[in-house]
Amino acid sequence: MNIWQKRAPGVLLCLAVALLAWFLVELAPALEIVGSAVLAILFGMVLCAVMKNKDKVKDGVAFTSKKVLQYAVILLGFGLNLRKIGEVGLTSLPIILSTIATSLIVAFLMSRALHMPGKIATLIGVGSSICGGSAIAATAPVIEADDEEIAQSISVIFLFNVLAALIFPTLGGAIGLSDTGFGLFAGTAVNDTSSVTAAASTWDTLHNTGGAVLEYATIVKLTRTLAIIPITLALALFRVRQAEKAGGKSGVKVSAKSVFPMFILYFVLASVITTVVTAVLSGPALAGANELFSLLKTLSKFFIVMAMAAIGINTDVVKLVKTGGKPILLGFCCWVAIAGVIAMEPDVLILDEPTAGLDPQGRDSILENIRAYQKAKNATVMMVSHAMEEVARVTDRLLVMDHGGLRMDNSPREVFRHAWELQQIGLAIPQVTRVFLRLRELGVPVDSSVYTVEQAARELLRLKGGKGSC
């Protein structure tokens, strides 16, 4: 009997369980908050409890829980357009990095205090801070976590996903979060995409925001997903270093290639391919490529469900329950720590090119959210941008920098009186200012310092009616 014949029964069993879990969620949308991956684990655990002889499926189940999970991670890369996510989500990056660092530190400290296995703590830490099950799926093979450790971690993340979807909209309202604040809150403190969607949609309904919070929360969630790349690479390099140290002590030479999880590099390569292809193609070719990437992303999700089915089949549910208290406590601490970081809406908000890469509608939405946040929280908002027209719309004071030096510091109106100087140092002045400068050149006695459409309208009315300057 060849190796594939030995694996076939187990792989087919995992496939059947995955299909059952997958189509149950499709048929009953209410189950989306649970997710097909969690259902697959539960079904697998039931099979583990009732199956008397697992020898026939052992090889196939082991292959699915390890190799198929790695294939799922590789395919996951085709759902990450680095350019798109970077353009839209970089404004939330500082707070995302803060929450990831907080979660990992809390997980490390709690694992020491509770005397927990380091692998479970790592999985719960990355699952809580990055993107739930996908992050656990990507990290588990890197640190060589066993099936029970993965099952425990997934179960903990699932528990707090459900709790977050149910209580966060009410909690956000109680602590006075703005629409933008809750979008950041939901996108960062909730792990699974379905739970993020549930929480943000509930907020949109309660506050009549027309889906704006859901859109923003989804962008933040996608930006968090990018953290899978540096986290898994760092863990992989750490694993190589530890193996080399162990080999040096025993006198055995360790090959980095044999220890390093190559599937992580393939995952990164898939992300790069998606980014490059979508950047260079257009029209029908781009539509076809996006359809293919969407299919591969869906296949990745299904492979994860298959792997979770295999993990469930290999998991002793009695042992899981007996040892589940400490992981749940650790997950709770990570959850509370992340939520606490996000809930503290800052008095000072620093934004770096917040509208880069956005279409006009997205740009207007972001600027409106910035204004609303500043007004609601009486916060100081500092925005770095080359888009002077956008800056002028939301600021009371402009500082113009040139080669590390301060060139101007005044109100927008006074700064734009020096429009020619702004252009000379490489800044694009507002279009309306450019028009009025040209009118001035043509001899029309207009105030060329206008920088908004509203100001321009008043200035034209002044000329027409002979009224004073606006």
Q: What is the pLDDT of residue 104?
A: 82
The dihedral over CA atoms of 132, 136, 139, 143, expressed in degrees to the nearest 10, equals 140
pLDDT tens-digit profile of 39-88?
888 898 888 888 877 788 888 988 998 888 888 888 888 877 777 665 54
Q: What is the pLDDT of residue 258?
A: 56
Q: What is the pLDDT of residue 442?
A: 84
More confident residue, 91 or 390: 390
Alpha-carbon gap, residue 126 to 103, rounded angstroms:
8
Mean pLDDT of 91-108: 74
In one-letter notation, the amino acid at residue 168 is: F
- pLDDT for residue 97 is more than 80: no
| Residue 349, strand partner residues | 381
Instruction: Provide the mean pLDDT of the chain.
Output: 77
**DSSP for residue 253:** -
Mean pLDDT of 257-282: 81
Global confidence as pTM = 0.59
**pLDDT band (50, 70, 90) for residue 468:** very low
Q: Which two tokens stand for residue 152?
A: 């425990």
HSE-up of residue 267 (Cα within 13 Å, Cβ side): 28
pLDDT tens-digit profile of 106-133?
888 888 888 888 888 888 888 887 777 7
More confident residue, 446 or 280: 280
Mean pLDDT of 214-227: 74
- pLDDT for residue 469 is more than 60: no
Top-confidence range, 282-291, 322-331, 434-443: 282-291
Alpha-carbon gap, residue 288 to 291, rounded angstroms:
5
pLDDT tens-digit profile of 298-335?
898 899 889 888 888 887 766 666 666 777 787 778 77
pLDDT tens-digit profile of 138-179?
888 888 888 888 888 887 877 777 777 778 888 887 777 777
Cα-only R_g, the chain:
27
| 124 phi, psi to nearest 5 deg | -70, -40
More confident residue, 219 or 407: 407
**DSSP for residue 52:** S
Alpha-carbon gap, residue 39 to 233, rounded angstroms:
29
Mean pLDDT of 200-214: 79
- pLDDT for residue 406 is more than 80: yes
- pLDDT for residue 360 is more than 70: no
- The answer to whether the CB of 49 falls within 8 A of the CB of 317 is yes
Q: Which two tokens stand for residue 407?
A: 């060139």
The lowest-confidence range among 118-132, 241-255, 444-458 is: 241-255
CA 392 to chain centre: 30
- pLDDT for residue 20 is more than 90: yes
HSE-up of residue 192 (Cα within 13 Å, Cβ side): 25
The lowest-confidence range among 133-137, 205-209, 245-249, 421-425 is: 245-249
- The answer to whether the CB of 313 falls within 8 A of the CB of 48 is yes
More confident residue, 259 or 239: 239
Residues of 283-312 as b/e, b for ≥16 C-beta within 10 angstroms?
eeeeeebeeebeebbeebbbbbbbbbbbbb
Q: β-strand 380-384 against 348-352: which pairing, if any?
A: parallel
Angle, vertex CA 18, rays to CA 13 and CA 24, nearest 5? 130
Q: What is the pLDDT of residue 470?
A: 43
